[in-house]
């Protein structure tokens, strides 16, 4: 015990299990099966976000089992604990979606509180669905103990009428069915085949975007994120996390060593190069905020403008995450950008080596097939990245646009159709009252106003499903799903709940979105806006107790990542 008690890797767990005064603590642990040998090894908390509420995390017990076996093999003592998950797809389109962003905060708080209270020496965290990896990373930087993150992997594609499909196709099919463009039989048949097993939604939606980013940021082992949930490679990749987390602990590498401004700029670069989910803006801002890194929305726009769009992944492109694994996974994307001088290659990773060293050491696969999934930098889809930060009198703090149009730009002037909340907008779209040239404005859906900043996938998918691929725009203080496509602007800040301009818009106002000059403007004079502002009254809150009421008071602006902050306000 004397060697172990001097082991610097045990600096935290020693306090909980060493010495005669900790006999009660050891007694409790012995009841869980721990032995004298276990007490002398570093304690590694294994945050396992497994749940039956979504296929995204359905298989994570298996993944965590391998991670724990790897930790034992490497001389550590794994101690597993859970955190919650909300299924974004299943919460979509109803009030339940207001719980999704809240779940990010609860995941972060849960991991932080358990790890703090139990005194783990290091952390291995296994997550899947959209809010998992952001919540994990927020906890990791708060705790700042050696941490390795493992993404649980994507779902395999379904097959329908000769093509690969994912749940995005089912959401869009609802719109097509409502418009009479798809039969009930086909909708039923698609529903049964689109999601063939465990894993996250198959396209480059939020979960897969964050899976790619966690490798890019240097917080996950290179090559682990793109492996599909059910792929034979996953077990070995999961087991290897054990040795990695013990090595990261021995080297004393902490999340704040890794998550520097260079890491975040690399993350933005990759999100922009791939056309990743706009939620990545919100999540990177929140993680940076927790880490004390001075990241701004302007950084997203600057980096995106300097980044060629090379990802040919759905929803904007043709391929799914499982295809990316086949052609080389995240290292392929990083290699393309590294060779073009577009990454900070000296950014540190959890291995103690730089991102550049890690990428160069990773073997490349068949270049011919890879080129169809991730274009070469010199032959991009578009010259600029796919994320744009818009500002103007409609969003003085900023708004987020993802450019999925093949032209690589969005220029749209249309007539406002204003809805307070998603349900009212969805009903109008379902009844076919939205016309070409309309700008659907959905407000009181911001971080505080919702609360919880719902994703508008049901609305955007219904718009697309009715054939309005580029002739109807949407503007909201809520969010989009990563699966959203079309001229859609979200994260409008300041939000309606705090009296932002979006609260003042009326039916018939003219709104212009112009990605070339990064602007979003309503054609109203300052005098008229002031007049409307004087007459504006905040609606009564819908939730007056419980978690939704609590988070309504805690959420900061979307322009700050919608973190729960009381000190920034
Ligand atoms: Fe979990 Fe889509 S619902 S990744």
Q: How far is the CA of 33 from the centre of ligand 1 (A)?
A: 35
Please tell me whether residues 223 and 288 are part of one structural domain: yes
Per residue in 454-501, pLDDT (tens digit) is 988 888 888 888 888 889 999 999 998 666 777 899 999 999 999 999
Dihedral (CA of 276, 277, 281, 285) sign: negative
Dihedral (CA of 286, 476, 452, 485) sign: negative
Per residue in 222-233, pLDDT (tens digit) is 999 999 999 999
Which of 87, 107, 169, 484 most suits a substitution to test ligand 1, by most atoms within 8 Å of the C-beta? Answer: 87
Q: Which residue lies with its CA nearest to atom 2 of ligand 1?
A: 201
Which of 201, 229, 314, 484 most suits a substitution to test ligand 1, by most atoms within 8 Å of the C-beta? Answer: 201
Please tell me whether residues 206 and 224 are part of one structural domain: yes
Q: What is the CATH number of the domain that holds 47?
A: 3.40.50.2300
Please tell me whether residues 236 and 335 are part of one structural domain: yes
Q: How far is the CA of 320 from the centre of ligand 1 (A)?
A: 14
- To the nearest whole percent, how much of the chain has pLDDT over 70? 98
Q: How far is the CA of 368 from the centre of ligand 1 (A)?
A: 30
Return the pLDDT at 458.
81
Q: Is the pLDDT of residue 568 over 80?
A: no
Q: For residue 207, give the ligand 1 atom closest to its CA.
A: 4
Helix residue spans in 179-232 (DSSP H): 184-193, 206-216
Please tell me whether residues 310 and 404 are part of one structural domain: no
Q: For residue 483, give the ligand 1 atom closest to its CA.
A: 2
* 56 marked as part of a ligand binding site: yes
Per residue in 53-75, pLDDT (tens digit) is 999 999 999 999 999 999 999 99
If one compares 277 and 265, the residue with the highest pLDDT of the two is 265
Q: How far is the CA of 410 from the centre of ligand 1 (A)?
A: 27
Per residue in 274-307, pLDDT (tens digit) is 988 889 999 999 999 999 999 999 999 999 999 9
Structural Rg of the chain based on CA atoms: 24
Pair of tokens at residue 248: 């990261």
3-state SS assignment for residue 225: coil
Return the pLDDT at 567.
56
Of 178, 196, 214, which residue sits at a domain end?
A: 196
Distance, in Å, from the CA atom of 165 to the CA atom of 85, rounded to the nearest integer, reads: 24
Q: For residue 87, give the ligand 1 atom closest to its CA.
A: 3
Please tell me whether residues 77 and 109 are part of one structural domain: yes
Q: How confident is the model at residue 135 (pLDDT cuts 50, 70, 90)?
A: very high
* 21 marked as part of a ligand binding site: no
Q: Is the pLDDT of residue 4 over 90?
A: no
pTM of the model: 0.95
Instruction: Classify residue 104: in a domain, yes or no.
Output: yes
Of 373, 403, 427, which residue sits at a domain end?
A: 373
Instruction: Classify residue 8: in a domain, yes or no.
Output: no
Of 168, 196, 224, which residue sits at a domain end?
A: 196
Distance, in Å, from the CA atom of 105 to the CA atom of 255, rounded to the nearest integer, reads: 18
The mean-pLDDT minimum among 362-366, 446-450, 482-486, 543-547 falls in: 482-486
Domain with 546 in it: 388-560
Please tell me whether residues 96 and 226 are part of one structural domain: yes
Q: How far is the CA of 8 from the centre of ligand 1 (A)?
A: 39
Please tell me whether residues 140 and 179 are part of one structural domain: no
Task: Tell me the mean pLDDT in the region 389-402.
Answer: 95
Query: Per the structure, how many domains does the chain have?
Result: 3
Please tell me whether residues 425 and 554 are part of one structural domain: yes
* 455 marked as part of a ligand binding site: yes
Q: Which long-range contacts (CB under 8 A, 24 or more apart) does 260-263 make?
A: 260/293, 260/347, 260/348, 261/293, 261/294, 261/295, 262/344, 262/346, 262/347, 263/216, 263/217, 263/218, 263/344, 263/347, 263/348
**280 catalytically annotated:** no
Q: For residue 208, give the ligand 1 atom closest to its CA.
A: 4
Q: How far is the CA of 24 from the centre of ligand 1 (A)?
A: 42
Per residue in 206-215, pLDDT (tens digit) is 999 999 999 9
Task: Tell me the mean pLDDT in the region 532-550.
Answer: 96
Q: Which residue lies with its CA nearest to atom 1 of ligand 1?
A: 129
Per residue in 148-176, pLDDT (tens digit) is 999 999 999 999 999 999 998 998 898 88
* 247 marked as part of a ligand binding site: no
Instruction: Classify residue 19: in a domain, yes or no.
Output: no
Return the pLDDT at 483.
64
Which of 59, 88, 204, 277 most suits a substitution to test ligand 1, by most atoms within 8 Å of the C-beta? Answer: 88
- To the nearest whole percent, how much of the chain has pLDDT over 90? 86
Please tell me whether residues 250 and 179 are part of one structural domain: no
Instruction: Classify residue 423: in a domain, yes or no.
Output: yes
Query: What rounded mean pLDDT belongs to the chain?
Result: 94
Instruction: Classify residue 24: in a domain, yes or no.
Output: no
Q: How far is the CA of 342 from the centre of ligand 1 (A)?
A: 30
Please tell me whether residues 345 and 394 are part of one structural domain: no
Q: Is the pLDDT of residue 1 over 60?
A: no
Return the pLDDT at 245.
98
* 130 marked as part of a ligand binding site: yes
Q: How far is the CA of 70 from the centre of ligand 1 (A)?
A: 27
Catalytic residue among 277, 481, 515, 557: 481
Q: What is the CATH number of the domain that holds 446?
A: 3.50.30.80
Distance, in Å, from the CA atom of 128 to the CA atom of 137, rounded to the nearest integer, reads: 13
Instruction: Classify residue 114: in a domain, yes or no.
Output: yes
> What lines the ligand 1 site, CB under 6 Å?
54, 56, 87-89, 129-130, 200-201, 205, 207
Instruction: Classify residue 317: in a domain, yes or no.
Output: yes
Q: Is the pLDDT of residue 26 over 60?
A: yes
Q: Is the pLDDT of residue 552 over 50?
A: yes
Return the pLDDT at 482.
65
The mean-pLDDT minimum among 98-102, 170-174, 200-204, 393-397 falls in: 170-174
Per residue in 88-125, pLDDT (tens digit) is 999 988 999 999 999 999 999 999 999 999 999 999 99
Please tell me whether residues 142 and 163 are part of one structural domain: no
Distance, in Å, from the CA atom of 42 to the CA atom of 4, rounded to the nearest integer, reads: 9
Instruction: Classify residue 37: in a domain, yes or no.
Output: no
Q: For residue 88, give the ligand 1 atom closest to its CA.
A: 3
Distance, in Å, from the CA atom of 542 to the CA atom of 557, rounded to the nearest integer, reads: 19
Task: Tell me the mean pLDDT in the region 332-336.
Answer: 96
Which of 89, 101, 198 most suits a substitution to test ligand 1, by most atoms within 8 Å of the C-beta? Answer: 89
Q: Is the pLDDT of residue 2 over 70?
A: no
Please tell me whether residues 134 and 174 are part of one structural domain: no
Contact 310, 336 (CB under 8 A): yes
Q: How confident is the model at residue 560 (pLDDT cuts 50, 70, 90)?
A: very high
Return the pLDDT at 462.
84
Distance, in Å, from the CA atom of 349 to the CA atom of 354, rounded to the nearest integer, reads: 6
Return the pLDDT at 335.
96
Return the pLDDT at 569.
45
């Amino acid at each position: 015990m004397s060697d172990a008690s001097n082991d610097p890797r045990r600096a935290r767990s020693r306090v909980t299990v060493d010495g005669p005064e900790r006999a009660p603590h050891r007694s409790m642990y012995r009841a869980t099966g721990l032995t004298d040998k276990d007490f002398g090894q570093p304690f590694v908390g294994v945050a396992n976000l497994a749940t039956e509420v979504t296929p995204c995390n359905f298989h994570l017990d298996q993944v965590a089992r391998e991670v724990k076996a790897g930790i034992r093999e490497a001389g550590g003592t794994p101690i597993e604990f859970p955190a919650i998950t909300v299924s974004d797809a299943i919460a979509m389109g109803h009030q339940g979606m207001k719980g999704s962003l809240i779940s990010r905060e609860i995941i972060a708080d849960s991991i932080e509180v358990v790890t703090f209270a139990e005194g783990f020496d290091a952390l291995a965290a296994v997550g899947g669905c959209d809010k998992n990896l952001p919540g994990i990373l927020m906890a990791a930087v708060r705790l700042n103990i050696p941490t390795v993150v493992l993404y649980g992997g994507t779902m395999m594609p379904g097959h329908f009428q000769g093509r690969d499909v994912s749940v995005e196709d089912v959401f869009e099919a609802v719109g097509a069915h409502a418009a009479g463009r798809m039969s009930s039989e086909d909708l039923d048949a698609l529903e049964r085949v689109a999601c063939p097993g465990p894993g996250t939604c198959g396209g480059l939606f939020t979960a897969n975007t964050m899976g790619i980013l966690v490798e890019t940021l240097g917080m996950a082992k290179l090559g682990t994120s793109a492996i599909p949930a059910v792929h034979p490679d996953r077990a070995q990749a999961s087991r290897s996390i054990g040795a990695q987390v013990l090595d990261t602990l021995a080297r004393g590498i902490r999340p704040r060593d890794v998550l520097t401004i260079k890491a975040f700029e690399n993350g933005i670069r990759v999100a922009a190069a791939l056309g990743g989910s706009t939620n990545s803006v919100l999540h990177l801002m929140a993680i940076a905020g927790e880490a004390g890194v001075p990241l701004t929305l302007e950084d997203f726009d600057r980096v995106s403008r300097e980044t060629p769009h090379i990802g040919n992944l759905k929803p904007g492109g043709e391929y799914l995450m499982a295809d990316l694994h086949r052609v080389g996974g995240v290292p392929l994307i990083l290699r393309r950008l590294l060779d073009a001088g577009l990454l900070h290659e000296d950014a540190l990773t959890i291995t103690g080596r730089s991102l550049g060293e890690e990428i160069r050491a990773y073997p490349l696969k068949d270049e011919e097939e890879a080129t169809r999934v991730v274009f070469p930098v010199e032959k991009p889809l578009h010259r600029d990245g796919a994320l744009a930060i818009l500002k103007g009198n409609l969003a003085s703090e900023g708004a987020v646009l993802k450019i999925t149009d093949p032209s690589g730009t969005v220029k749209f002037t249309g007539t406002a159709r204003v809805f307070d909340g998603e349900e009212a907008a969805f009903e109008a779209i379902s009844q076919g009252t939205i016309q070409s040239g309309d700008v659907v404005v959905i407000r009181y859906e911001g971080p505080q106003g919702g609360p919880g900043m719902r994703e508008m996938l049901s609305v955007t998918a219904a718009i697309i499903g009715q054939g309005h691929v580029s002739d109807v725009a949407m503007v909201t203080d809520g969010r989009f799903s990563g699966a959203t496509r079309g001229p859609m602007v979200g994260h409008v800040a300041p939000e309606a709940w705090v009296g932002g301009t979006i609260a003042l818009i009326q039916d018939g106002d003219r709104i212009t979105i112009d990605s070339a000059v990064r602007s979003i403007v309503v054609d109203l004079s300052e005098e008229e806006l002031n007049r409307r502002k004087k007459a504006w009254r905040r609606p009564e809150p819908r939730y007056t107790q419980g978690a939704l009421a609590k988070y309504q008071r805690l959420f900061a602006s979307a322009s700050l990542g919608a973190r729960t902050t009381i000190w920034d306000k």
